[in-house]
Amino acid sequence: MTTNQTNQNVYQKITDQIVAAMEAGAHRFEMPWHTSNPRPVNVVSGKPYRGVNTLALWVAEQLNGYASGTWGTYKQWNSIGAQVRKGERAATVVFFKDLERPVDEDENEETKSQRSFVATAAWVFNADQVDGYTASEVTPPVDKTKRLNQVEAFVAATQATIQERGHSACYNLTTDTIHMPERALFVGSSTSSATESFYSTLLHELTHWTGHPARLNRELKNRFGDAAYSMEELIAELGAAFLCADLGVAPSPRPDHAAYIQGWLSILRQDKRALFTAASKASAASDYLFKLQPQQPLEQAA
């Protein structure tokens, strides 16, 4: 296999890894919580990863809800007395080896100074995937949210699996889990308090949760094709607004979701009934969640 073929294989693997994570919902956009993820660093050298490796590991952290930005190979974790847990999956990074080649005495100085590199893959694990490692203590943020008992009881009654860790909010269809940043990371925005931001975000992801094949089986690709993802986000946003109103959480329009506006506008221009469809499916999601409650706390409108 030539050097170029080796490079292309590694590049493709890294690209596929990032694309797969993006398709699973690990998009980066501004949200009303602390998202100042530090650069991923190597556990042994302490040096930050660079280039595409930074992006690949940031995506892996968000997709899996890792709270740590520390990474290392299996061998590196072992070298400091830590053990990667059985069954954990590695993320791929790439590094470049300088190829040594014989020097032709007839070459000019410019040609002699040229260097060749080959891309090589390495597999790394996050600190959240290992046992026996203790990170340096950091000062925890002050929790500015207030606990709304009615909403807490409503969410608990759904029995959805919710994990509070990391810096990303998303619903993972594969594992059927909702990932939320820790409550204390929510600081609010110009349009909502920390409390409103936390619960509107949670209810947004809970609306996504209703679309699982075992629940409402919300399949949008047949009608909306490539725009299905943006359509699902619109449904979740409307669902969160409906639930916030029903449960007494001040509605939070979340202008931070501006990254999706273009997608929504494109759908609405192409399909005039798309907004009605989104509102209908958002209402169905809300109804489904209320039916999971021990008793109907509110009269649902037809």
User: Strand 162-164 and strand 170-172: pairing?
Assistant: unpaired
Q: What does the chain come to in residues?
A: 302
pLDDT in tens, 47-98: 888 877 877 887 788 778 788 889 999 999 999 999 999 999 999 888 776 6
**Looking at residue 9, what is its pLDDT?**
64
Give the rounded distance of the alpha carbon of 210 from its chain centre: 18
Do residues 127 and 68 make contact, with C-beta atoms less than 8 angstroms apart?
yes
The residues that bridge with 122 in the sheet, in sequence order, are 93
Q: What DSSP assignment string belongs to 30-84?
A: --SB---PPPPEETTT-PBP-THHHHHHHHHHHHHT----EEEEHHHHHHTT-EE
pLDDT band at residue 16 using 50, 70 and 90 as cut-offs: low
Name the more confident of 6 and 230: 230
Name the more confident of 120 and 213: 213
